[in-house]
Amino acid sequence: MLLVLMASFIGSFGAVFLKLGAERLRYGLRHIVSWQAFTGVVLFLISSGFFYKGIKIGELSVLYPMLSLGYVWTLLWSRLFFREPVTAPKFLALGLILSGIVLINLGAR
């Protein structure tokens, strides 16, 4: 479970770097290769490694939904790094996702 937690955490940083990489695309499509995009992809690979290790032992029906924690982290980084506003619907979504994860873990073996 901790492994999947790490996976969602690292993966959400992957998304941050992909966004930084995507911002360079306005200078033309050839800018799709940038160190930011590369870092993003590498972070996703590391993240999937943690997930892979996690699902080896745990229940997939519990661990896969836990990846939705990534949405929660991403919301946090969007606020911190890109100054995106946290609106009421986003806050509601965050609460729902966290409650869902708690419920699923109550049902875990």
Q: How far is the CB of 108 from other proteins (least distance, A)?
A: 8
Closest distance between other proteins and the C-beta of residue 35, in Å? Answer: 20
For 38, residues 6+ apart whose C-beta sits below 8 A from its C-beta are 21
Q: Does 32 bind other proteins (CB under 8 A)?
A: no
* Per-residue CA distances from 11 to 1, 36, 102, 108 (Å): 15, 14, 20, 24
∠ CA(9), CA(93), CA(62), 5° rounding?
55
Report whether 4 contacts 67 (CB < 8 A): yes
Nearer to other proteins, 80 or 92 (CB): 92
Q: Considering only residues 65, 77, 79, 81, which one is a binding residue for other proteins as defined by CB under 8 A? A: 65
Verify binding: residue 46, other proteins, rule CB under 8 A: no
71 binds other proteins (CB under 8 A): yes
Question: Does 24 engage in binding with other proteins (CB under 8 A)?
Answer: no
